[in-house]
Structure 1
Amino acid sequence: MYRNLLCLVLGLIVGIQLTEFWNYVTYTTVEYESTAVVANAETSLSEWLHRETRVLCLVLTMPAMHKLKAAHVKASWGARCNKLIFLSSEDDPELGAVNLNVTESREHLYAKVRAGLAYAYEHYIEDYDWFLKADDDTYVIMENLRMFLYPYDPEAPVYFGYRLRTTYPQGYMSGGAGYVLSRDALRRLNLIGLNNTKYCPLNTLAEDRQLGYCLLNLGVVAGDSRDELGRERFLPLNPRHLMPRIQSGTWLDKYYYFKPNASIHIQQKHF
C-alpha cells in the first residue's frame, strides 16, 4: 500500500513539473512569435514608407569634413535616405560629394545652398517627393521624418523645419535644425525664384533667413511641424538644451516662433 501511495505522489510531482515546463515552452514560443510579428510589422512599415515617401537628402559639408563628419552621416542616418548627396566644393565619388564651385565660408553659405537646390532640381526633381537640407553635424531619424511627411502632398507649396520669428509674417526655418522642401517648393524656387533677384536677392546674409524670405515671395507656406502636444520635431540646439532647468538663456529664446511648453519639453520627439 505504501509503495502505491509513493508512486502516486511521485507521479503527481512529475506531472506538475511537466505541466509547468510545457506552459513555459508554450509561453516563450508565443512571446517570441508576437515579438517577431511586431518587428516584421515595423520593418514592413519602414520599407513601405521608404517607397511611398521618397526623400532626397542634401547634406552641406566641406573637403576638410569629408572624413571627419560627412563619412559618419553616410554610415548612419544618411544610409536610410532614398538618395544622399553631399554638397561641397570638391568632388568625392567615394563619399558622394559634388563640387558646387562655391567658396567655402559663412558669407557664401546662402550661395552654396542655392547652388545645391539648383543641382537637386536639375537632376532629380521628378525622382523624389521631398528634398531635405541638413548639415554634416545634423542627425535625422528618417523613419520619423517619412511618417510625418506622408500625409502631405509633395505637389503642395510647403516646407517644414524649426520655425523662427523674424520681420516677415510666417518666419523661416532654422538651417541648423535642417528643413525639408516639397517637390513643388523646389520647383517654384528654381523656375521663378533663383532667376529673379526681386524675389530671391543675392547677398551674403544668413542662409536660412534668406531662403525663407525667398520662399515666402514664391507663395511657399512655412508649415507647422509640431506634434499634437506642441512638441517640436526639428531641433536647432544640442539635446542638452531640451532639459528643463538645465540649460537656459540661449539665443533661441529671442527667435522661436512657437513658445516652447516647458511642461512637455522633456518629452521631446525629434528627427
Structure 2
Amino acid sequence: MFRNVLCLALGLIVGMQLTELWDYWTLTGEEYESTAIAADTAAPIHTALARASLADWLYHETRVLCLVLTMPAHHKTKAAKVMSTWGARCNKLIFMSSQDDDVLGAVNLNVSESRDNLYAKMRAGFAYAYEHHVEDYDWFLKADDDTYVVMENLRLFLYPFDPEAPVFFGHRFRTSYPHGYMSGGAGYVLSRDALRRLNLFALNNTKFCPLNTNAEDRQIGYCLLNVGVAAGDSRDERGRERFLPLHPRHLMPQIQKGTWLDTYSYFKPNLSDCCSDSAISFHYTKMHEYDRYEFFLYHLRVHGLPEKLSVLPARLTYKQMEEKIDFWNQQISDKTTPLD
C-alpha cells in the first residue's frame, strides 16, 4: 500500500515538472514579456520560466554564430580566453585562423597571416559561415580575439529585429562613402539576409566588393552597402553607444574631445556619458582582463539594491522593419572622412 502511494506521488511530481518544462520551451516572446511584467509586480508565477533567466530563453530564441579573427600564435592565449569566457555563450563559436585546431574550434581559411590580408581572411570567413551555417543561425557576429562581448546584451538588442531583413549593426564610423561602416574592433553583426546577400551578390562581384588590401571592416561595410544592406543604429534611447571600439579605461569618465574616436564616429559621441548601460562590446582586451570582465559582470553582486527584471522589447512588424531600414538609409553623414 505504502509503495503504491509513493509511486503515485512520484508520478505526480514528475508529471508536474515535465509540464512546466514544456511550458518553458513553447512560450512565445509575447508570453515571456507578460510573464516578466507579472514577475516585476511580484505576482505569483508557477512556471519553469519564472525560475529561468531571460538570457537562457534568448539563447534559444535569438541564435548567434560568433566568428572570431585569430591566428595560430594566439590559439593558446587570446583565443583560449575568448573560448573560456564570452565565447562560451555563443550558440556556436568559430575561430577564423590559418591553422585548424580541433580543441579550439579554429578553421584554416587558407589565407596567410598578415594585416594586409585581414580583408581576404574575413571574406573567406563569411563564405565559410554561409556555406556551412547560414540556415542554422539568425545572426552572425564578427569579433577580434581582443574583443569582449556581452552576449546577453547582444541578444536582447537583436531580439526585436527580423534576421531576414538586410541589416547589420555595430559602432558606425565615417569614411569616404556616405553611409559609413562598422568598426571591426568593436565587432559587428550581420543578419541572416545580410550574410546571404554578401555571399550571393557581393563576394563574387569585384564591382560591388573589390579585392584589395584595405581595412577589413571598411571593405566589408562597402560590400554590404552595395548589395542593399542597411547600416543599422545600435545606440540606446539616450544616444549612447553599445558597441565600443575601445577599452573602458579609455572611455571613462568621458571621451576626450578631438580624439580619433570623436573624429571618426558617425554619430556625435556623448562626450560626458560615453557608454550605454546595455553595452555589448569592448575592444583592446588584454589577457588578464577577460577574467576581470567575467567577475564584475557575472559574479559580483551589490546587495541591498532593488533588482530590475529585464522585459523583452516588442518585435517589429514587417512594415515597422521596412520603416526602420528606410530611416537608417536616410541617416547620411554630412561629413565624410577618408580612412584609406
Pairwise TM-score range, normalised by the shorter structure: 0.7 to 0.9
Q: Which residue of 2 aligns with 1:238?
A: 247
Distance in structure 1 (CA, Å) of the matches to 2:257 and 2:271: 11
Give how far 1:260 is off. Answer: 1.1
Give the one of 166, 174, 182 matched to 1:157: 166
CA distance in 2, matches of 1:148, 1:43: 19
TM-score, normalised with respect to structure 1: 0.83
Query: Where does structure 2 lack aligned partners over 5 or more consecutive residues?
Result: 1-41, 281-340
Check the 8 A contact 1:241/1:248 in 2, yes or no: no
Contact kept in structure 1, 2:82 and 2:145, CA below 8 Å: yes
Residue in structure 2 matching 1:147, options 142, 156, 176: 156
Separation in 2, partners of 1:102, 1:256: 30
Does structure 1 retain, via aligned residues, the 8 Å contact 2:67–2:93?
Answer: yes
- 2:92 maps to 83
In structure 1, what is the Cα distance between the partners aligned to 2:172 and 2:54? 29
Q: Which residue of 2 aligns with 1:257?
A: 266
Select the residue among 188, 194, 197 that pairs with 2:197: 188
Q: Report the secondary structure of 1:265's partner residue.
A: coil
Larger helix proportion of the pair: 1
Is 2:125 the partner of 1:116? yes
Q: Deviations over 1:216-247 (max 9, x none)?
A: 10000000000001110000012112114575
Superposition TM-score, scaled by structure 2 size: 0.66
When residues 208 and 55 of structure 1 are mapped into structure 2, their CA distance, relative to the original with a 3 A threshold, is same
Deviation at 1:191, TM superposition (A): 0.6
Of 52, 67, 72, 2:81 maps to 72
Q: Does the 8 Å contact 2:241/2:275 carry over to 1?
A: no
- Give me the whole-angstrom Cα distance separating, in 1, the residues matched to 2:201 and 2:133: 18
* % identical equivalent positions: 76
Q: Is the 8 A contact 1:55 1:128 kept in 2?
A: yes
CA RMSD of aligned residues (A): 2.0
Return the alpha-carbon distance in structure 2 between the equivalents of residues 71 and 194 of structure 1.
Answer: 30
Paired position in structure 2 for 1:19? none
2:164 partner SS:
coil
Structure 2 residue 55 is the aligned partner of structure 1 residue 46: yes
Shift of 1:265: 2.3
Larger Rg over CA atoms: 1
Using the TM superposition, give the Cα deviation of residue 166 of structure 1 relative to its aligned residue in structure 2, in angstroms: 1.1
Residue 141 to residue 267, structure 1, CA distance change in 2 (3 Å): closer
Whether contact under 8 Å (1:244, 1:262) holds in the other structure is: no
Q: How far apart, CA to CA, are the structure 1 residues paired with 2:172 and 2:57?
A: 29
**Per-residue displacement from partner, 1:4-50 (whole Å, max 9, x unpaired)?**
xxxxxxxxxxxxxxxxxxxxxxxxxxxxx99xx9xx74843111101
The structure, 1 or 2, with the larger RCO (C-alpha pairs under 8 Å, 6+ apart) is 2
Partner AA of 1:179 in structure 2: Y
Kindly tell me the number of residue pairs found equivalent between the two proteins: 236
